[in-house]
Structure 1
Amino acid sequence: MLETLRHIVQEVNAAESLSQALDIIVGRVRDAMGTQVCSVYMRDPSSNRFIFRATEGLNKDQVGLASLAPGEGLVGLVAAREEPLNLESAETHPSFQFLQGIGEEHYHAFLGVPIIHQREVMGVLVVQQAERRRFDESEEAFLVTMSAQLAGVIAHAQVTGAVAEELLGAPAAPTRINGIPGAPGIAIGTAVVVSPGADLYAVPRRMVSNRRAEMRAFREALTAVQADIRAVSENLRGQMSAEDHALFDVYLGILDDSAIGGEVAALIKAGHWAQGALSQVMIQHIRHFERMEHSYLRERAVDVRDLGTRVLAYLQARDKECQQDYPERCILVGEELSASALGEVPREKLVGLISVRGSGNSHVAILARAMGVPTVMGAVDLPFTRLQDRELIVDGYHGSVHLNPPPEVRQRFQAMLDEDIALSRDLESQRDKPCQTLDGHRLPLWVNTGLMVDVVRSLEQGAEGVGLYRTEVPFLLRDRFPSEEEQRQIYREQLQAFAPKPVTMRTLDIGGDKALPYFPIEEDNPFLGWRGIRVTLDHPEIFLAQVRAMLKANAGLGNLRIMLPMVSNISELEEALSLIQRSHDEIRQEGLDGELPPIGVMVEVPSAVYQARALARRVDFLSVGSNDLTQYLLAVDRNNSRVADLYHSFHPAVLQALYAVARAGHSEGKSVGICGELAGDPLGAVLLLGMGYNMLSMNATSLHKVKKAVRNVTLVETREVLDEVMLMEDAGQVVLRLERLMAERGLEKFLHAPLEQ
């Protein structure tokens, strides 16, 4: 069964259109189960009916014509109940409805299972047989497993097919791909696809006019790989058997003009760019080998993949030398975008981001919010390799991407974009006003930074300090560890830019979803593994150099604060404090004077919540990292789009933890701040104000909204609302209560995304 499943999924994955994918499914499933009929009914979003879309065994002339409504007939019943239906005699069931013309009157046994993707019923997969019998448990299990395996593939094929048909000149069908909101806002622009290094499956489709240059580049890459193979072959001559050594001649033959090399050249002559032509041909051959029955031949797929990857690496190296020409309104699209990818696009041209992987709390989404770039994450059904140079609409409010929007939809999104700009101008009036409640309570608003572009934006928005400077960002943008002097210069720029306002520098926080390319951390469960303070304590040479660079950068300014990430116990804190003291002693011996700056701990894990008072006793301040704390409290990976809807900052358990930390810090006379995304949410800011937080740190784009909310409430009423919500048992109830408070102040338009229409 597993082998059959694997083969069918591979074939469907290789399909160029939804129709082709469905034809493969019905043919292969009928053969695998030995039934007489296999059919697929797909839900049409516009009519909400289940259309007869593909069949083996029934009348194919009715494909696309026959249909059933939800709850109508056996197919509609399967869809409505969202569970399998296994009948010995279908026509005797009360829900049976005869569909004229499809030819099912001869078949009695019926087994239908729903095709469900992201909680939505997309269709129904049906097998039928003339013999009156119930399908046995193993057959039912097979069809249920097949449906579950294929749901995502079918969803992807729907969008891929729509894009492919348009490229072939067919009418463009409006298509919406749902993901997860990453950063709010609307973007309308041109897609630029980011390809990871030498990944055949992530090469964007692109047509070119200069075919001769592409052919020349391909020939040069081919020649380079052939030279590499000959060199390796010569080095290993005499060390391998003649039979094994003959494989090198096979590899050279595969790349020959009469084989794969010739197929790639033909596609380039047809107008495809070299990378795309290579990708298409190599993937086709890899899948051909993978489908073979003989294990030896199946393993040749690995060889073909390796050869293709080698040629692609040479092509990418050549293309990287050519400066990327970014469109005026660039939407960056990739399977998994990185901070370095964002940094390569001129800021004035970057208007939107789309990432196939990740969630709204991924590191790249946090950076996008800091930069004010509308972003959609977790768009798993997006055929991103086919989107190069296409106009897209990014709806960062609702987490959706629109392809081929009709004129009225495009106009609606343009109106939303214009409204956003108007609201932003309205909020700019808050810039020079103090952040204080109606009854005079001051609440400092600081910013989270990481890139130098954040500095200008933060100062323009009226930030009162930096609650989190992500020191890992300069590390992520390099191909090696920055030296102590390089770090000193970077930190000095930050400290000088904000002086005399305080700047809180978090020591290197890597691991989890932040991996350095030159210091890879391979773990099965990185978020519970080697990350944050754990890494730097294991590598004191990195930690000491960084702290020394910070202390030196602070000379003559005195606005530095140091913050330690991912502390989970007292011994880690004491070891880190000892190393900081050692760094301070060392720079004093070098002749640099200055007091030790304030040192704080990030409260990001449950153990730190329960030991908050003991931690506060040893440091100068506490700062809650609410993103990670929410993740660990709720056991929800914030990069996993499948469980993103379970990640909720207003979950009662999260609120209880936040309140406990505030009380613990204050009981030791220490200030308590927060630098997670919750601080930048006006609803969250009101609650944190009531809890007694001394400072909120957020992305610069959130400063004015939060200030507007704070200036329209009293401290007394925030405490009253806090008392109410702390008794609630559901995050939704909490949000509704806070929204009611904001509505009473006339602030609805600053809190919500525009309603979807």
Structure 2
Amino acid sequence: AEWSAWAFQSVISPVYLLDPASNRYILMATEGLYLKAVGKVSLAHSEGLVGLVGSREEPINLEDAPSHPRYRYFPETGEERFRSFLGVPIIHHRRVLGVLVVQQRESSRCFDEGEEAFLVTVSAQLAGVIAHSEATGAISGLSLTGEEARDVSFNGVPGAPGVAIGHGVVVYPAADLDVVPDRPAEDIELELGLFRSAVQAVCEDIEQVAKRLTSRLRPEELALFDVYLRMLGDEALPGEVNSRIREGIWAQGALKQVVQHYVRHFEMMDDHYLQERAVDVRDLGRRLLSYLQEGEQKDLNYPERTVLVSEELTPAMLGEVPRGQLVGLVSVKGSSNSHVAILARAMGVPTVMGLVDIPVNQLDGKELIVDGFEGQIFASPSADLRTFFQEICDEEDELDRGLEALRDKPCETTDGYRVPLLVNTGLMTDVVRSLSHGAEGIGLYRTEVPFMIKDRFPSEQEQRQYYREQLEAFAPNPVTMRTLDIGGDKSLTYFPIQEENPFLGWRGIRVTLDHPEIFLVQVRAMLKASEGLNNLQVMLPMISNISEVEESLHLIYRVYHEVREEGYDIQMPKVGVMIEIPAAVYQIRELADRVDFLSVGSNDLTQYLLAVDRNNPRVAQLYHSYHPAVLQALVRVAQDAHAAGKPVGICGELAGDPGGALLLMAMGYDSLSMNAASLPKVKSVIRSVSREWAVKLLKDVLLLDSPHVIKSCVDLALRNAGFGRYLRPGKSKSAALAGQAEP
């Protein structure tokens, strides 16, 4: 408000925020009006000029505001002295948060274009700050009006399906200042002592390092360590941290604030040398924090129903939770393809990832609902919302028990059409769940998972052991192993790939062909693991050119002959390609001439067709597997593959969706591969309909032009066929959320 007042001079600049609970605009800040009006004056959603700005979602610039028919006068504000009016909506992620207003004392005049543009800029910059602040307040239990806030929701991307109700436990990686939570100091003297010990320990570390390097560095280079030690003097960084601790902030939080202040200060300087000092400050901050955190998180108290929350979850964090107490996961960073998400699906733990504008540190100890179906979390749920989601949990448990009887029955339609159901796996925990659900093989084994759980490339023998476990578990059924697929959102800590646009960069087959030493070792391990079982199939990811297939086949045949010469009695495995790039959709016949089978990776294909990063919550609403272009592409792939005489399967989220599975079966896909948890529901639906019915449904939806209409049409068909219970959530949340709203 003060910034606007300074820029426009002789103006007032009130800020009205839209309260989600009451759907009214409340005067929350002002420069120039009576301060006693703040928090007291409010307007209905469409009332007054403020309501008009909000409903139109665009600036309104008036020369004489009182003469406008929508003008609303509040005597308690003192605004009768002002005539000119400029109102700009504050919008964040398509949601109107409020309205920023300026009014001028002078005679009537319209604000000029430059002033209007300036206010639009200010409102855009305010939007993110207000959204974060509003969310923080709501999580703390207060709405804008000071009333209790309930059912505070945040949107992310689904990481693992299911619903969990529990209490949040916030964890954070060691020595990461950015994610240190804000906490008051319970014992100031204790915090001062901890910080004093950390400073002493870091000083000793630096002195030891300098001593070790004395013979290898010149005096001017050794002077760097003196700089570090001076920065750790009582009058420097530690003095400021101690001051903040005495103000009531715990040591880690005080350190974070001081280091971030120093870093911002150095980074704004024009001198390059001084800018580089920000790196030194960060390094010192991490060193101090690592000592402060020693043993600090080992004593975390995990409730009986723990929802683990972190800026970025790691597998090690999951392992710290006592067995049987982990019910849900929430990660601000990460994607549905990250290692943690894969592990969560294998463990059957509902997960939401990729949240934005969420003050994660405020969720510690809060009751949380994790909706892994929709990619939402709810903090401080009302009794109605808790009951709603508890019913979903109970329904899921009952449904799973009811579907167990289908495990050994074939997946066959009522008119005798057979479609094998396979599973996507990555860990041995997947295998146990898959076998218990009646899977007929593995349609996608993610070989990158064994690479992700190590701090180096696994040896040939280690890989061979991983692959043998999978092949033995499903023998004689086929096990399709995808060669190493890293890049994009799947990276290895010991083989980092830094790119401006990783999804259009160095990933999949592009990486392994550039590093044949990795590819050859992996294929050799696969072939040796298949000895005596001969149920191995090899699949190549991220294919966009015929040359990639030919080069890969050359290497595979080379390894095959080498392994045979070593004395292994193996058969040449079937080799297939993944269709997940639009270019491959138009080369099906050429690809089919060179390989034994094709498999559509529907997740990536959808992403690339729609130019939408499926892991980005900001555009998640644009990612839709039922998009007409996606369905048309899938139809074309199936037709062209069969015309070339080659089988085609599909592995992706669409195959695990009961409605999507029906459409894919109708298209003629020879196998459907999915997460183990989805398999019983898909089998139940397919066994209860005829293929003729599914083909008619496909013809109907291919005439539609909206993904949302197509999804509604498929859902309606499922409900009419008696499968409404498979649509999650099974009923509308609107009743449970009556009178409640998102922050």
Given the two structures, how large is their TM-score scaled by the length of structure 1?
0.89
* Aligned residue identity for 1:45: P
Equivalent residue number for residue 117 of structure 1: 92
Q: 1:211 to 1:589 in 2, by over 3 A?
A: farther
Equivalent residue number for residue 459 of structure 1: 435
Q: 1:471 to 1:211 in 2, by over 3 A?
A: farther
Alpha-carbon deviation of 1:738? 1.6
* Aligned residue identity for 2:30: T
Q: Is residue 755 of structure 1 aligned with residue 732 of structure 2?
A: yes
Equivalent residue number for residue 685 of structure 1: 661
Equivalent residue number for residue 251 of structure 1: 231
Describe the SS at the equivalent of 2:286.
Answer: helix
Equivalent residue number for residue 325 of structure 2: 349
Alpha-carbon deviation of 1:365? 4.5
Question: What is the CA deviation profile of residues 460-515 of structure 1, one whole-angstrom value per residue up to 9, with x for unaligned ones?
Answer: 11111111111111111111111111111111111122222221111100000001
Q: 1:218 to 1:556 in 2, by over 3 A?
A: farther
Equivalent residue number for residue 587 of structure 1: 563
Q: Is residue 541 of structure 1 aligned with residue 522 of structure 2?
A: no
Q: 1:471 to 1:326 in 2, by over 3 A?
A: farther
1:422-461 mapped onto 2 (5 Å cutoff): 422-461=398-437
Q: Is residue 501 of structure 1 aligned with residue 477 of structure 2?
A: yes
Quick one: percent identity of the two aligned structures? 58
Q: 1:206, 1:388 within 8 Å by CA — same for their partners in 2? A: no
Alpha-carbon deviation of 1:312? 2.0
Which of 73, 87, 93 in structure 2 is aligned with 1:98? 73
Describe the SS at the equivalent of 1:641.
Answer: coil
Q: Is residue 730 of structure 1 aligned with residue 706 of structure 2?
A: yes
Q: Is residue 64 of structure 1 aligned with residue 39 of structure 2?
A: yes
User: How far apart in 1 are the matches of 2:102 and 2:499?
Assistant: 43
User: How far apart in 2 are the matches of 1:403 and 1:745?
Assistant: 36
1:77-96 mapped onto 2 (5 Å cutoff): 77-96=52-71
Q: 1:271 to 1:48 in 2, by over 3 A?
A: closer
User: How far apart in 1 are the matches of 2:429 and 2:619?
Assistant: 32
Deviates more, 1:100-109 or 1:619-628: 100-109
Equivalent residue number for residue 150 of structure 1: 126
Q: 1:266 to 1:457 in 2, by over 3 A?
A: farther
1:313-392 mapped onto 2 (5 Å cutoff): 313-316=290-293, 319=296, 322=298, 326-338=302-314, 341-342=317-318, 345=321, 348-357=324-333, 364-365=340-341, 368-392=344-368
Q: Is residue 191 of structure 1 aligned with residue 168 of structure 2?
A: yes
Q: Is residue 34 of structure 1 aligned with residue 25 of structure 2?
A: no
Which of 675, 680, 691 in structure 2 is aligned with 1:699? 675
Q: 1:609, 1:661 within 8 Å by CA — same for their partners in 2? A: yes
Q: 1:213 to 1:228 in 2, by over 3 A?
A: same
Alpha-carbon deviation of 1:87? 1.5
Equivalent residue number for residue 739 of structure 2: none
Q: 1:476, 1:516 within 8 Å by CA — same for their partners in 2? A: yes
Equivalent residue number for residue 490 of structure 1: 466
User: How far apart in 1 are the matches of 2:300 and 2:469?
Assistant: 29
Q: 1:565 to 1:344 in 2, by over 3 A?
A: farther
Q: 1:47 to 1:526 in 2, by over 3 A?
A: same
Q: 1:447, 1:700 within 8 Å by CA — same for their partners in 2? A: yes
* Aligned residue identity for 1:251: M
Alpha-carbon deviation of 1:311? 1.6
Alpha-carbon deviation of 1:726? 2.0
Q: 1:644 to 1:340 in 2, by over 3 A?
A: farther
Alpha-carbon deviation of 1:690? 0.5
Question: What is the CA deviation profile of residues 210-261 of structure 1, one whole-angstrom value per residue up to 9, with x for unaligned ones?
Answer: 989876654443223223444677757742799x997445412268686134
Q: Is residue 262 of structure 1 aligned with residue 232 of structure 2?
A: no
Which of 575, 585, 610 in structure 2 is aligned with 1:599? 575
Q: Is residue 203 of structure 1 aligned with residue 161 of structure 2?
A: no
Structure 1: any 5+ residue segments left out of the alignment? 1-25
Alpha-carbon deviation of 1:60? 1.1
* Aligned residue identity for 2:239: A
Q: Is residue 420 of structure 1 aligned with residue 396 of structure 2?
A: yes
User: How far apart in 2 are the matches of 1:153 and 1:651?
Assistant: 34
Q: 1:536 to 1:173 in 2, by over 3 A?
A: same
Which of 236, 239, 250 in structure 1 is aligned with 2:220? 239
Q: 1:553 to 1:275 in 2, by over 3 A?
A: farther
Q: 1:233, 1:248 within 8 Å by CA — same for their partners in 2? A: no
Equivalent residue number for residue 488 of structure 2: 512
Describe the SS at the equivalent of 2:40.
Answer: coil
User: How far apart in 2 are the matches of 1:498 and 1:173?
Assistant: 51
Given the two structures, how large is their TM-score scaled by the length of structure 2?
0.90
Q: Is residue 221 of structure 1 aligned with residue 201 of structure 2?
A: no
Alpha-carbon deviation of 1:568? 0.8
Alpha-carbon deviation of 1:146? 1.7
Q: 1:506 to 1:219 in 2, by over 3 A?
A: farther
Q: 1:229, 1:252 within 8 Å by CA — same for their partners in 2? A: no
* Aligned residue identity for 1:179: N
User: How far apart in 1 are the matches of 2:610 and 2:272?
Assistant: 44
User: How far apart in 2 are the matches of 1:562 and 1:264?
Assistant: 59
Structure 2: any 5+ residue segments left out of the alignment? 737-743
Q: 1:97 to 1:624 in 2, by over 3 A?
A: same
Equivalent residue number for residue 54 of structure 1: 29
Q: 2:263, 2:281 within 8 Å by CA — same for their partners in 1? A: yes
Q: 1:113, 1:125 within 8 Å by CA — same for their partners in 2? A: yes
Equivalent residue number for residue 654 of structure 1: 630
Which of 614, 620, 630 in structure 1 is aligned with 2:596? 620
Question: What is the CA deviation profile of residues 92-116 of structure 1, one whole-angstrom value per residue up to 9, with x for unaligned ones?
Answer: 2221111121111111121111111
Q: 1:177, 1:381 within 8 Å by CA — same for their partners in 2? A: no
Alpha-carbon deviation of 1:622? 0.5
Equivalent residue number for residue 741 of structure 2: none
User: How far apart in 2 are the matches of 1:427 and 1:35?
Assistant: 71
Q: 1:479 to 1:246 in 2, by over 3 A?
A: closer
Describe the SS at the equivalent of 1:348.
Answer: coil
* Aligned residue identity for 1:42: L
Q: 2:612, 2:619 within 8 Å by CA — same for their partners in 1? A: yes
Q: 1:115 to 1:657 in 2, by over 3 A?
A: same
Q: 1:194, 1:332 within 8 Å by CA — same for their partners in 2? A: yes
Q: 1:471 to 1:33 in 2, by over 3 A?
A: farther
Alpha-carbon deviation of 1:537? 0.5
User: How far apart in 1 are the matches of 2:560 and 2:320?
Assistant: 36
User: How far apart in 2 are the matches of 1:538 and 1:626?
Assistant: 25
Indicate the RMSD between aligned Cα atoms, in angstroms: 3.0
Q: 2:191, 2:245 within 8 Å by CA — same for their partners in 1? A: no
Equivalent residue number for residue 571 of structure 1: 547
* Aligned residue identity for 2:532: G
Q: 1:743 to 1:248 in 2, by over 3 A?
A: closer
Alpha-carbon deviation of 1:662? 1.0
Q: 2:407, 2:437 within 8 Å by CA — same for their partners in 1? A: yes
Describe the SS at the equivalent of 1:733.
Answer: helix
User: How far apart in 2 are the matches of 1:297 and 1:553?
Assistant: 57
Deviates more, 1:245-254 or 1:580-589: 245-254
Deviates more, 1:153-162 or 1:526-535: 153-162
Q: 2:424, 2:675 within 8 Å by CA — same for their partners in 1? A: yes
User: How far apart in 1 are the matches of 2:199 and 2:448?
Assistant: 39
Alpha-carbon deviation of 1:353? 1.7
Which of 672, 680, 692 in structure 1 is aligned with 2:648? 672
Deviates more, 1:463-472 or 1:659-668: 659-668
Equivalent residue number for residue 18 of structure 2: 43
